[in-house]
Amino acid sequence: MDLESLTRTSGEWLKATGPDSDIVMSSRIRLARNLAQFPFPSRADDSVRAEVDELLKTQLAKHPAGRKLNYIVVSGLELLDRQMLVERQLISREHSESHGQRGVGISDEENVSIMVNEEDHLRIQVLRSGFALDDCWQEINAIDDAIEADRTYAFSDRLGYLTACPTNCGTGIRVSVLMHLPGLVHTKEITKVFQALQKINLAVRGLYGEGSQAMGDFYQISNQVTLGKSEEQLIRTIKDVVPNIVSYERRVRQELVSKNRRGLHDQVSRAYGILKTARTISSEETMDLLSSVRLGINLGLIDDMEIPLINELFVHTQPAHLQKIRHEKLETVDRNVARADYIRQRLNERR
Say whether pLDDT at 350 is over 90: no
- Separation CA 237–CA 200 (nearest Å): 9
CATH of 3-248 among 3.40.1080.10, 3.30.590.10, 3.40.50.12280, 3.30.465.10: 3.30.590.10
Sheet with 202-205, strands from edge to edge, namely 70-73, 103-106, 112-116, 122-129, 24-33, 173-180, 218-223, 202-205
Which positions ≥6 away from 193 have C-beta within 8 Å? 181, 184, 204, 245, 248
Mean pLDDT of all residues belonging to the chain: 94
Listed in order, the ranges of the chain carrying CATH 3.30.590.10 are 3-248
Q: How confident is the model at residue 211 (pLDDT cuts 50, 70, 90)?
A: very low
Whether 192 has a pLDDT exceeding 90, the answer reads yes
As a whole number of angstroms, the distance between CA 158 and CA 139 comes to 26
Distances (CA, A) of 333 to 279, 281, 317, 330: 11, 9, 14, 8
> Which string of b and e fits 146-179 if b means at least 16 CB within 10 Å?
bbeeebebbeeeeebbbbbeeebbbbbbbbbbbb
Of 98-102, 114-118, 140-144, 206-210, which range is least confident? 206-210
Dihedral of alpha carbons 62, 64, 68, 69, sign: negative
User: Region 341-348: what's the mean pLDDT?
Assistant: 94
CA 121 to chain centre: 20
Q: What pLDDT is recorded for position 216?
A: 85
Please state the rounded mean pLDDT for residues 299-324. Answer: 94
